[in-house]
Amino acid sequence: MLAKANRLNKHGSFAYVYRNGKRFSEADVVLICVPARSARVGFSVSNKVGKAVVRNKVKRRLRAAVGARLSRMAGCQAVFVANVSAADKDFLTLDGEVASLLKRAGLSQ
């Protein structure tokens, strides 16, 4: 579970990141990030991905992958957006994609 201080949870925060962020994409996950003082992360999974059970499973997997790397992330506000194909992937695949995205964005140290 991410600490409350590390979560993006307001619509305005998500809108700011979408509007001003730089995008990096993999096959199943997209990262949108904006430089900030501290690391804050949000997750977006569309209804197109599946029903609530499937969407929650994808979010849990993404949270676990990001949570393991949060202490090493540089200061940024980031939103991870799951593509429809993320529903069929296992944790190791999503974890690898998250690691790749953070490395390409220069957020992992």
Percent of the chain with pLDDT over 70: 99
Whether residue 89 lies inside any domain: the answer is: yes
Query: pTM for the full model?
Result: 0.94
Q: Is residue 37 part of a domain?
A: yes
Domain presence at residue 19? no
Domain holding 83, by residue range, is: 24-105
What's 32's domain CATH number? Answer: 3.30.230.10
86 domain residue, yes or no: yes
- The neighbour count for residue 1, using CB atoms within 10 Å, is 9
Give a yes or no: residue 12 inside a domain. no
50 conformational bin, left if phi > 0, alpha if psi -120 to 50, beta if neither: left
Q: Is the confidence at residue 107, as pLDDT, over 80?
A: yes
Residue 47 lies in a domain: yes
If one counts the domains in the chain, the total is 1
Q: 60-104: per-residue pLDDT in tens?
A: 999 999 999 988 888 899 999 999 999 999 999 999 999 999 999
15 lies in some domain: no
